[in-house]
A = this chain, B = another copy of it.
Amino acid sequence: MERPHLDDELQALKNRLLNMAALVEERTHHAIQALVERRPEQAEKVVTGDRDVNELQIEIDDRCLKLLALQNPMASDLRLITAAMKINADLERIGDQAVNIAEKALDLIRLPLLKPLIDLPRMAELAERMTRDSLDAFVRRDPGLARSVLERDDEVDSLKDQIFRELLTYMMADPTTIERALALILVSRSLERIADHATNVAEDVIFMIEAKDVRHHHEEQ
């Protein structure tokens, strides 16, 4: 029996990571949509669907370990596989945040609407886009695209601060809003964490391509 070519195996690995990214991005999108459109069944689906993400994570990790053990990959292939293991872990944690958002959505839907949500969906769109682009950068080996993900992290942070300040004003003016405002603040923190994970992925991609460590350098500028 012929052993599959390493190139084919690496292509299959990339495809599975793209599936994983699409899955967690979709789940983030559904969680926010459930919150904005007040659809509890959809939030429930996000909470119960986490098993698919977990299974895919284990499968991808297993592929990586087998490639490392059986193919003895060198240099750039080795960096690709170790990057894939790290990216896989970040994607799984993005999935966890989608669950956290869906759980908060279930709490919030039971209470009267505090305000129409404008900035949270914008923040979610940014975080989802960063996730998608960091994976595209991985598959296409595009360091420019990966760097653009790092740059967008500031935009997410300033949206997060804006959301925080607005909700703080609500709480100060009317204590009956505190519980709902707090839940919305925690949703924005989950979105911030998703953007952080996308940033980690982008850093791994740049390291994989350029074999120099960009982690912590952009932070220090």
Q: Tell me the A residues contacting B by CB distance below 8 Å.
A: 51, 54, 57-58, 61, 64-65, 68-69, 72, 74-75, 78-79, 82, 85-86, 89, 168, 171-172, 175, 178-179, 182, 185-186, 189, 200, 213, 215-216, 220
Q: Would A78 and B69 be within 8 Å (CB), given that A178-B168, A178-B171, A179-B168 are in contact?
A: yes
Enumerate chain B residues within 8 angstroms of A65, measured Cβ to Cβ: 78-79, 82
Give the residue of B72, B182, B200 whose beta carbon is less than 8 angstroms from that of A72.
Answer: B72
Give the residue of B85, B189, B200 whose beta carbon is less than 8 angstroms from that of A86.
Answer: B85
Bound CA span A200–B57, Å: 14
Give the residue of B54, B89, B171, B185 whose beta carbon is less than 8 angstroms from that of A216.
Answer: B54
Q: Can you spell out 7 A-B residue pairs with CB atoms less than 8 angstroms apart?
A: A54-B216, A57-B216, A72-B72, A86-B89, A178-B178, A182-B182, A189-B189
Give the residue of B89, B172, B215 whose beta carbon is less than 8 angstroms from that of A57.
Answer: B215
Enumerate chain B residues within 8 angstroms of A85, measured Cβ to Cβ: 82, 85-86
Chain A binding surface SS class:
helix
Report the minimal beta-carbon distance from A209 to chain B, rounded to whole angstroms: 14
B185, A182: Cβ atoms closer than 8 Å = yes
Enumerate chain B residues within 8 angstroms of A178, measured Cβ to Cβ: 168, 171-172, 178
Bound CA span A165–B213, Å: 42
Quick one: closest B residue to A96, CB to CB? B196
Bound CA span A185–B185, Å: 11
A74, B69: Cβ atoms closer than 8 Å = yes
Bound CA span A178–B171, Å: 8
Bound CA span A216–B51, Å: 8
Bound CA span A200–B108, Å: 29
Q: Would A68 and B82 be within 8 Å (CB), given that A58-B215, A182-B168, A185-B182 are in contact?
A: yes
Quick one: closest B residue to A72, CB to CB? B72
The 7 closest A-B pairs by CB, nearest first: A54-B216, A58-B213, A171-B178, A172-B175, A72-B72, A69-B78, A68-B78
